[in-house]
A and B are shown apart, each in its own frame.
Chain A
């Protein structure tokens, strides 16, 4: 006697293979969904925004009239903001990573720092905005300045840079340390001349990605009071400022349709900058991908 009913199994198998095929299609569609959204988004933005994109747009200040509006102040402000954020966040982030990977002893304090960093990565950006507003703008009396914005942004992207740098340092094989120590190099000499150069591509990639997060971040800067309408360029780090995403927000929030078109043009510029930064990151990653 047959324990297994062959016919039943046959019939079942057909059904099973059928559902395998169907579900495969569904899963595939879900994966493609992202591509579709991206395509629609880009199509809309370019169709609406391209007509406004010209030299005047780049070289004019914001305006009450959509045809005259430009993003000179916003681009300059974003550049200024990055000029503060980049050095501060990279020094702090790489320093933290070196401490954790090279110097920290395995104790409570170290574990606390690690846990702390992974939790900071999940704190919403508005909370960083509240911190910046309270501590930098008010308590330290920096006012609604580039430096207050830069510090706030630095803290916001710090966890990203720390984690990227930690990974870059951890990827360096032990034999590299041994080679250096065996030559009579001290720890700091080894870090400076072997570890940091070897980790540099990873640190750069992570840093650029973190900065591209900062350059698109809106909420914390709105909160510390970056202005949305300024008709002058910042003179130093104590100046008031606006940045690209805030300018875009401002245009988006207006009821007039025309300003939405201008917002699209602003978005094109923002996405172009992000594309540029990411390409550099990808290039670095690719150039240094196969080593050791």
Chain B
């Protein structure tokens, strides 16, 4: 049984790869990317392309550079003063680290959801419309429309529609995280980066967010870091395994979990370390 599956996979792999390349454009192309925090190198020669309108999961043990990597994708790493880097990260064909590239524009197109929900100490409504306001949309009617649309998209509308004026800190952790997703959706990004968005949440909230991610991938390209391999297997199309600042393996999720090419990937997914 196992063998036949393996053979079939092996056979179809080549054609599948071609198919993927035909079907989906890469939204990000990362080439020979190195990054240092001061003297410590955190990323080593990353080469990776991230497909459009798919969910890419990033797995790997703590401290292997997952967060650093996705923070490089929207240049949030630059908030750490000691960061140095070289190599290229192309978003939509343009190198985001080139001097004339507008970082605000990049971050408008690339949203981010963090490990710990980080709503502003303002009302639920004010949280959602933060982005549109920032980008100059001021009409109340439009803002309200955007708020409703984003909250619906984040599957939070029904829970909060009667208390949009209440402080966001009154929401539960899971609701706060979905609020942060709604806030991110309110400027209609193309890509959503998620850094362990469910690791601080209970199982029910986690389930809701996983479901949400499934729905969102129709319209957004999603990169999600997760500690939880079942989660990666459940929700992602592609998976990249990071170890010590390097990409060990990057493949279709099904392939990576059933037939890891690298011994280290296998050790990790079978729970031998990490």
Mark out the residues of chain A between 162 and 200 whose CB falls within 8 Å of any chain B CB in the assembled complex: 173, 175-186, 189, 193-194, 197-198
Question: How many inter-chain residue pairs (CB < 8 Å) link A and B?
Answer: 66
| A291 CB contacts on chain B under 8 angstroms | 121, 169
By a CB distance below 8 angstroms, the chain B residues around A180 are 120, 130, 134
In whole angstroms, what is the CA distance A181 to B131 when docked? Answer: 10
A292 touches B121 (CB 8 A): yes
Across the interface, name the chain B residue whose C-beta is closest to A172. Answer: B121
Whether the pair A184, B122 counts as a contact (CB closer than 8 A) is no
**Which B residues are in CB contact (< 8 Å) with A173?**
118
Residues of A within 8 A of B114 (CB): 175, 178-179, 182
Does B223 sit within 8 A of A, measured CB to CB?
Answer: no
Contact A182 B130, CB 8 Å, known A177-B79, A198-B121: no
* Chain A nearest Cβ from B33, distance in angstroms: 20
Cβ–Cβ < 8 Å partners of B180 in chain A: 179
The complex places the Cα of A147 from the Cα of B201 at a distance, in Å, of: 57
Question: Are B184 and A197 closer than 8 Å at their CB atoms?
Answer: no
Which residues of chain B are within 8 angstroms of A186 by Cβ–Cβ distance? 104
Q: A197 — which chain B residues lie within 8 A by C-beta?
A: 120-122
Q: Is the CB of A179 within 8 A of B118?
A: yes
- Complex Cα distance, B108 from A184, in Å, reads 5
Interface string of B71-112 (1 = CB under 8 A from A): 000101001000000000000000000000000111110011
State whether B120 touches A182 (Cβ < 8 A).
no
| B interface: dominant SS | helix
- If the complex has contacts A189-B134, A193-B130, A291-B169, are A181 and B118 also in contact, measured as CB distance less than 8 A? no
Interfacial chain A residues near B122, Cβ < 8 Å: 197
Q: B167: shortest Cβ distance to chain A, in Å?
A: 9
- Determine which of A176, A184, A189 lies in contact with B120 in the assembled complex, contact meaning CB atoms within 8 Å: A176
Specify which of B111, B121, B122, B184 lies most central, judged by the most chain A CB atoms within 10 Å of its CB. B121
The reply to whether B121 and A184 contact each other, CB–CB distance below 8 Å, is no
How many Å lie between the Cα of A185 and that of B118 in the bound state?
A: 15
CA distance A189 to B105 in the complex (A): 14
Docked Cα-Cα span, A193 to B133, in Å, equals: 10
Q: How far is it, in angstroms, between the C-alpha of A159 and the C-alpha of B107 when the chains are bound?
A: 37
A182 and B76 contacting across the interface, CB-CB below 8 Å: yes
Answer yes or no: B183 CB below 8 A from chain A CBs: yes
Interface size class of B (residues with CB under 8 A): 20 to 34
Contacts of B112 in A (CB 8 A): 178, 182
Q: How far is the CA of A112 from the CA of B91 in the complex (A)?
A: 42
- A181, B76: Cβ atoms under 8 Å? yes
Task: Decide: A181 near B121, CB < 8 A? Known: A189-B134, A193-B130.
Answer: no
Judge if B156 is at the interface, Cβ distance under 8 Å. no
Shortest B213–chain A CB gap in Å is 17
B169→A183 contact, CB < 8 A = no
B contact residues around A176 at 8 Å (CB): 118, 120
With both chains docked as a complex, state the minimum distance between the C-beta of A188 and any C-beta of chain B, in angstroms: 11
A175 nearest CB neighbor, chain B only: B118
Interface status of B217 (Cβ within 8 A of chain A): no
Interface check B116, CB cutoff 8 A: yes
A185 contacts B134, C-beta separation under 8 Å: yes
Q: Are A183 and B183 in contact (CB under 8 A)?
A: yes
Decide: A182 near B169, CB < 8 A? Known: A175-B114, A193-B130, A197-B122: no
Q: Are A181 and B107 in contact (CB under 8 A)?
A: yes
Q: Which of A186-240 contact B (CB under 8 A)?
A: 186, 189, 193-194, 197-198
23 contacts between A and B (CB under 8 A): A173-B118, A175-B114, A175-B116, A178-B114, A179-B118, A179-B180, A179-B183, A180-B134, A181-B76, A181-B79, A182-B112, A182-B114, A184-B106, A184-B107, A184-B108, A184-B131, A184-B135, A184-B187, A189-B134, A198-B120, A198-B121, A291-B169, A292-B121
Which 7 residue pairs across A and B have the least CB separation, nearest first? A184-B108, A175-B118, A184-B107, A182-B112, A183-B131, A179-B118, A184-B104
B interface residues with partner A (beta carbon < 8 Å): 74, 76, 79, 104-108, 111-112, 114, 116, 118-122, 130-131, 133-135, 169, 180, 183-184, 187
Q: A182-B114, A186-B104 given. 12 additional CB < 8 A pairs? A: A173-B118, A175-B116, A178-B79, A178-B112, A179-B183, A181-B76, A182-B111, A182-B112, A183-B130, A183-B131, A184-B106, A184-B131
Chain A residues close to B by CB (< 8 Å): 173, 175-186, 189, 193-194, 197-198, 291-292
